[in-house]
Amino acid sequence: MSEQPLNPSPAGTPDDAAAGTAPVAPGPSASGPTGSTAADALPAGPAADATSDAAPDALSDEDAAARRAASFERARRLRQEPRFPGGPAADPAGSHHERRIRSFQPRRSRVTTGQQESLERLWPQWGLDIDGKRVLDLAELFGGLPVVLEIGFGMGEATAQMAADDPGTGILAVDVHTPGQGNLLGLAEKAGSTNVRVANGDAVILLREMLAPESLDGLRVYFPDPWPKARHHKRRLIQPDFLDLVAPVLRPGAIVHCATDWEPYAEQMLEVLTAHPRFENTAADGGYAPRPAFRPLTRFEGQGLDKGHVVHDLLFARV
């Protein structure tokens, strides 16, 4: 699974990169290989058609500036248009205007027919955009169930299994990967699970502006992008500033559960969580915890284990 969301890893990183990435963190969002950009998909505008036969140096400075401005405006409009009417918004909070280093990078990839059908049919009922405009009423959204926030669910297989195994817990699953959003919705419906809600956008905005104090019973961050290069460590999701956002929205005793197969990132997670005054390690020896039975062994995790990767789980309680 991944964070971003709200986010995937650069090529050559461990198997958690294969799961996708998620959504979200100080310094966004969600990262890794990207698809075609908005500009790539833009049709030529009228100004371009009118001057297509002219030599580049025949354009006046004013004409060139006008063409650039028109291109930027078309790209801006495209970024704001939903890919599926009635489905997740392309940029629900206008988060590209925020000058933060993001832990994820929204990417465009192919949406299957089944995923598109699930998005168009189920999003109005089980989906929501992270727009930063309201505080969510989780009791109403989940029918009074205790709610766990999951940041970065990849294609949603593990999330769907956890929801089916524990129907008494609501899962608010955040990511920015459209195919994964559609896949999770379809898997939940197939399993008959009604305790999943899929949130589209930047988890930092969700934590900062859309969740009431002490409204969550847990946080799950499984296999976030490890950002292995030293110059990219600032993009990692689990940082002191991120935990400062998390702590107020968790109830006392709520569990923060992280998992990664990237050893250096596991060490950083352990260090950062141990140092934070609002969290306490549930492991008696102050180290890593055994994998809880409720966290499924995913296909990507299995592939990593076959390659000799060591998966570390961390479970910290909010105090």
Catalytic residue among 131, 175, 225, 261: 225
Distance of CA 311 to the CA centre of its chain: 21
The greatest distance separating any two alpha carbons of the chain, rounded to the nearest whole angstrom, comes to: 74
Going by their DSSP bridges, the two strands 312-318 and 279-281 should be labelled as: antiparallel
* Catalytic residue check, 225: yes
CA-CA distance, 277 to 118, in Å (whole number)? 42
- 102 CB-contact burial (10 Å; exposed 0-12 / middle 13-18 / buried 19+): buried
Burial 164-187 (b: 16+ CB within 10 A, else e): beeeebbbbbbbbbbbbbbbbbbb
Q: Which of 203, 278, 287, 282 is nearest to 240 (CA)?
A: 278
By annotation, the residues acting in catalysis are 225
